[in-house]
């Protein structure tokens, strides 16, 4: 029998991964302050990967706990609400005439991310809100919010300077924040499934995406963001049809 004063190492592994994710977010902030833009983006993307990994580890090791859930929420707020906002402001607005406008967008993004995560925590166990069982989330998840919000930076690094307008960019960032707190059903990759006959196409698509990110990372991330935004109308229709079929 395990003593009440001891704990198995496997119980703290998911939380350790979450702490590493916080470290990645903090390092991203440092890199953005020092002007290392690509490195700062890489650390945010690393935080996205670690965020997915800690939950998988907790379920695999059967070590999910309220402590881990709260720690994960705090990490998500910083990594996907604060760090991307600081990076956006330092890269695109600091020292320009649009600094106040950029700070407004940064504040809205961070607040919306906090509200989205608070709502998620309160709705845990409520299948009508979280919609885990039917492959949907309410609103855009925090990691996706960070990636969508950073699209102006991805476009900047891809060389699309002529299409970057400060007002449009600011409205877009605020819009991404509002998507986080919206009630739009969004597809959940965690619970998605495909037919066996579609598996070869899914693998080829994944390979193309990985190779694309390795060779043309910023352009590929712009493309993936656009694809994700394009799925929102389909997720809304799919959820609506599912609800209607379930009520029959």
Bigger pLDDT: 244 vs 237: 237
Q: Residue 3 falls within a domain, yes or no?
A: no
Banded model confidence at residue 1, pLDDT cuts 50, 70, 90: very low
pLDDT in tens, 205-240: 888 888 888 888 889 999 999 999 998 888 888 878
Query: Does residue 10 surpass a pLDDT of 80?
Result: no
- Pinpoint the alpha helices (H) of 35-82: 37-60, 66-77
pLDDT at 126: 54
Q: What is the CATH number of the domain that holds 51?
A: 1.20.120.1760
**What ranges in 140-198 are assigned the alpha helix state H?**
142-149, 151-157, 166-181
Query: Count of residues for the chain?
Result: 248
Supply φ then ψ for residue 125, to 5 degrees.
Answer: 95, -10
Over residues 48-104, the pLDDT tens digits come to 999 888 878 878 777 777 887 888 889 999 999 999 999 999 988 988 888 999 999
DSSP, collapsed to helix, strand or coil, labels residue 123 as: coil
Average pLDDT over residues 1-26: 79
**Structural domains of the chain, count:** 1
Its domain, for residue 35, covers 9-243
Residue 131 has pLDDT above 50, yes or no: no
Give 95's DSSP letter. T
Residue 78 lies in a domain: yes
């Amino acid at each position: 029998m395990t003593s009440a004063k001891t704990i198995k190492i496997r119980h703290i592994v998911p939380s350790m991964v979450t702490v590493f994710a916080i470290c990645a977010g903090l390092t991203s902030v440092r890199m953005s302050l020092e002007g290392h833009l690509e490195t700062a983006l890489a650390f945010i993307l690393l935080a996205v990967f670690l965020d997915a990994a800690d939950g998988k580890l907790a379920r695999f090791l059967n070590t999910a706990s309220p402590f881990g859930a709260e720690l994960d929420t705090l990490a998500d707020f910083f990594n996907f609400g604060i760090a991307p906002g600081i990076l956006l402001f330092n890269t695109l607005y600091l020292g320009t005439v649009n600094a106040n406008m950029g700070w407004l967008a940064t504040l809205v993004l961070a607040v919306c991310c906090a509200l989205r995560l608070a709502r998620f925590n309160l709705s845990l166990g409520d299948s009508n809100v979280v919609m885990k069982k039917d492959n949907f989330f309410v609103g855009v998840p925090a990691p996706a919010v960070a990636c969508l919000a950073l699209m102006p930076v991805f476009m900047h690094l891809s060389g699309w300077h002529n299409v970057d307008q400060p007002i449009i960019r600011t409205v877009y960032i605020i819009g991404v924040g509002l998507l986080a707190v919206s009630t739009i059903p969004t597809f959940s990759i965690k619970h998605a499934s495909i037919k066996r006959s579609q598996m070869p196409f899914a693998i080829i698509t994944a390979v193309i995406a990985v190779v694309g990110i390795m060779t043309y990372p910023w352009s590929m991330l712009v493309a993936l963001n656009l694809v994700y935004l394009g799925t929102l109308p389909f997720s809304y229709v799919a959820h609506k049809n599912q609800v209607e079929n379930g009520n029959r």
